[in-house]
Amino acid sequence: MKIYREVISQTPVDVMLSYCHYSINDTSLEGLIPFLEQKKAGVINASPLSMGLLTNGQPPEWHPAPAEVRAACAKAGAFCQSKGVDLAKLAIQFVLGNEKIATTLVGTASAENITNNVRWAGEPLDHALLAEVQKILAPIHNKTWPSGRPENN
C-alpha cells in the first residue's frame, strides 16, 4: 500500500480502484482509507470474493494466491457449507458493511450470481458466522500475491 500513498501524494486522484485488498481474507485497504479521505479520493473495491477464493467452489487453476491462502479459503468455504451458507454470501455482506467504501465491483459468471448478490445485499450479516470464518482465515489475513506491474507489489 506504500506505493499508493506515494502516487496519491504526488498526483491529484479523485478515485482509486483497489483489487483484492478489502475482503474477509485481506482488509489491508482499511489502513489506506483515512489517507484517501484526507486527500478527498474515493475508493472502488474490486473482487470482494478474492478472485474466486471466497466461494464454496474452487478458484481457477491459474489463481496466483499461494497454497496456504488457497487452503485457508477452502477451509472457510467448507466450514460455511457445513452451516448451510455460501461463503460468497458472507464475503459480499462483509464488504458491503463498510460504509467508507462507496462502490464494490463484483465479477460474475452467471445471472444467478447477480441475483444472489442483490438478494444477499439486503439480508443481515451473520456476525457469529463471520467471526468463526475470520478465525479460520486469521493465519493468512492480509497475505496477498503478486499481481500487475512488479513495482506495484
Under 8 Å between Cβ of 60 and 49? no
Q: Is 85 helix (H, G, I), strand (E, B) or coil?
A: coil
Q: Is 107 helix (H, G, I), strand (E, B) or coil?
A: coil
The verdict on residue 153 lying in a domain is no
Element (H, E) at 27: none
The verdict on residue 35 lying in a domain is yes
pLDDT digits (tens, 9 = 90+) for 117-127: 999 999 999 99
Contacts of 26 (CB under 8 A, 6+ apart): 20, 50, 141, 142, 143, 144
Which residue has 474490486 as its cell numbers? 46
The verdict on residue 148 lying in a domain is no
Question: Domain count of the chain?
Answer: 1
Q: What is the CATH number of the domain that holds 58?
A: 3.20.20.100
pLDDT of residue 128: 98
pLDDT of residue 10: 79
Query: Length of the chain in residues, anyone?
Result: 153
Sheet containing 15-19: order of strands: 15-19, 42-46, 103-105
pLDDT of residue 56: 86
Range of the domain at 130: 2-143
Give the chain's radius of gyration (CA, Å).
16
pLDDT digits (tens, 9 = 90+) for 81-100: 999 999 999 999 999 999 99
The verdict on residue 152 lying in a domain is no
The verdict on residue 151 lying in a domain is no
